[in-house]
Amino acid sequence: RRFTVGLTGGIGSGKSVVARLFAGRGADIVDTDRIARSLTAPHGAAMPAVLAAFGDGFADAHGALDRAKMRALVFSEPDAKRRLEGILHPMIRDAVLAESLLGTGPYVIFDIPLLVESGTWKDRVDRVLVVDCPEAVQAARVVARSALPASQVQAIMAAQAPRQVRLAAADDVIDNGGELAALAPQVDRLHATYLTMAEEGVK
Ligand code: ATP
């Protein structure tokens, strides 16, 4: 398999910006969120299994997952959440791995927002790269971007791994506490490291 970097970070930490910089240097990027969403989009590949498990009432008029209804169910029934994840997680994993084989770049980056939280990805990547910034900066950027109330941003952040836990899981860290312009030199340095590792087949 290809040399694989798992890119992660809290909400609004700058994963997308960093992924674009790596893509500009030739790395292949696999967006795991996009793949996860497509599986439960209208007539997505996971829909038959999800409807068989939960009932046809969980499809909306377009054949997509009724997300509001499913959110309500998994909120009140933890077992339903486990069953849903039991269906989706293996399919997400397979689709991500399949897409990762299509690229022709020197290595591949999986953009995985919940890498540290989920546990399933750590053994499937060669390096864990964390985009880091102080929580106050992170919160301010998310509020600026999304117009979510600060209280809701705090709730999302509280449900994610704390900064120190994420940093403890990192092989490499990109500091995004400063200007956007500070990212390129860090990406250049890591890209050179990953090229060497990919060539040497470092595991
Ligand atoms: P999510 O987890 O929500 O997908 P993300 O980790 O992919 O977020 P980005 O979308 O890359 O984060 O960045 C979040 C917001 O902060 C964007 O609007 C981005 O333009 C902005 N941003 C990122 N880094 C910086 C920076 N160093 N300075 C100023 N703004 C930044």
Same structural domain, 45 and 134 = no
DSSP-assigned letter for residue 162: P
d(Cα 14, Cα 179) in Å, to the nearest integer?
11
Which atom of ligand 1 is nearest the CA belonging to 177? Answer: 27
Given 83, 104, 125, the domain boundary residue is: 104
Q: 74 is in which domain, residue-wise?
A: 34-104
d(Cα 77, Cα 82) in Å, to the nearest integer?
9
Among protein residues, the one whose CA lies closest to atom 25 of ligand 1: 180
Same structural domain, 49 and 139 = no
Same structural domain, 134 and 197 = yes
What CATH code is carried by the domain that includes residue 194? 3.40.50.300
ipTM: 0.97
> With DSSP H G I counted as helix, E B as strand and the rest as coil, what are the percentages for the chain, rounded to 5?
60, 10, 30
Given 57, 77, 104, the domain boundary residue is: 104
Same structural domain, 99 and 111 = no
Q: Which residues line ligand 1 (CB under 6 A)?
A: 9, 11-17, 113, 141, 145, 176, 179-180
The total number of structural domains that make up the chain:
2
Backbone angles phi, psi at 100, to 5 degrees: -65, -20
Which tens digits make up the pLDDT trace of 12-29? 999 999 999 999 999 999
CA-closest candidate to residue 63, choices 81, 76, 80, 51: 51
Which tens digits make up the pLDDT trace of 150-188? 899 999 999 999 999 999 999 999 999 999 999 999 999
